[in-house]
Amino acid sequence: MSTVQPAGPSRVDRPVPAVTAALVMVIALGVLWLSELVDQLSGNQLDYYGIHARELDGLPEIYTAPLLHGGWEHLMANSGPFFVLGLLVLLGGALRWVVTTLISVTVSGLAAWVLTPIGTIVLGASGLIFGWLTYLLVRGILTRRPAQVIMGIAVLVVYGGMIWGVLPGAAGISWQAHLGGAAGGILAAWLLHRRRSSPAPTPGRPGYVGGR
């Protein structure tokens, strides 16, 4: 009789140590604050790199807009959820964090670009924050792992009120970016955690147990 042990967790499943994850998020948050400092010192010249709604040459700014904010108050409002939600996603794996971040930023930016009235510049990390939020909520539903379900419930309790931000509200707040970010987070969770049918074990594959 022979046995083959299942392979260990893949790179995408490998968790990130809490200290490392916290350090990465501190650095990421520091980049946002440094960007705002440079913007203030330059007379808000960096605002040009926000998303210019419905302008073709403004599409690349989808990936620079999350680094910029419309003032210190805007940045301070985003800093807490940016750090906490980004940290929780990163703890689940670096690659998952990268994929979720890229998808959330892309879908959020495209939604803002398409749905925002022309002549508007959209700035801020809130679209990404909404992506991380919905990713954490949907991940627990898809995986059904107790720890992730509990984390999703905790996130819902603490940050669930943010969900209303996907609806049109106060002037100057991009519900379009929020809606796109939320959709991006759901898409990322589905792509990374949807259940796939497992093929029957075959000789020489992990998990195979055979007799001879």
Helix and strand numbers, DSSP H then E, in the chain: 6, 4
In a domain, 189, yes or no: yes
Q: How many domains does the chain have?
A: 1
In a domain, 64, yes or no: yes
Residue 10 DSSP code: -
| CA atoms within 13 A of residue 120's CA, in its CB half-sphere | 18
Q: What is the pLDDT of residue 57?
A: 86
Q: What is the pLDDT of residue 131?
A: 97
Q: What is the pLDDT of residue 173?
A: 86
Closest CA to 144 of 133, 153, 157: 153
> What are the DSSP E strand ranges found in the chain?
2-3, 51-52, 121-122, 209-210
Structure tokens at 187: 């898409």
In a domain, 7, yes or no: no
Q: What is the pLDDT of residue 12?
A: 52
Which parts of the chain have pLDDT scores under 50?
A: 1-9, 197-198, 200, 205-212
Instruction: Report the CATH number that the domain containing residue 151 is assigned in CATH.
Output: 1.20.1540.10
In a domain, 8, yes or no: no
Rounded to two decimals, what is the model's pTM? 0.86
In a domain, 82, yes or no: yes
Q: What is the pLDDT of residue 4?
A: 37
In a domain, 5, yes or no: no
Distances (CA, A) of 207 to 5, 9, 13, 168, 194: 6, 13, 18, 51, 21
209-210 and 2-3 beta bridge pairing: antiparallel
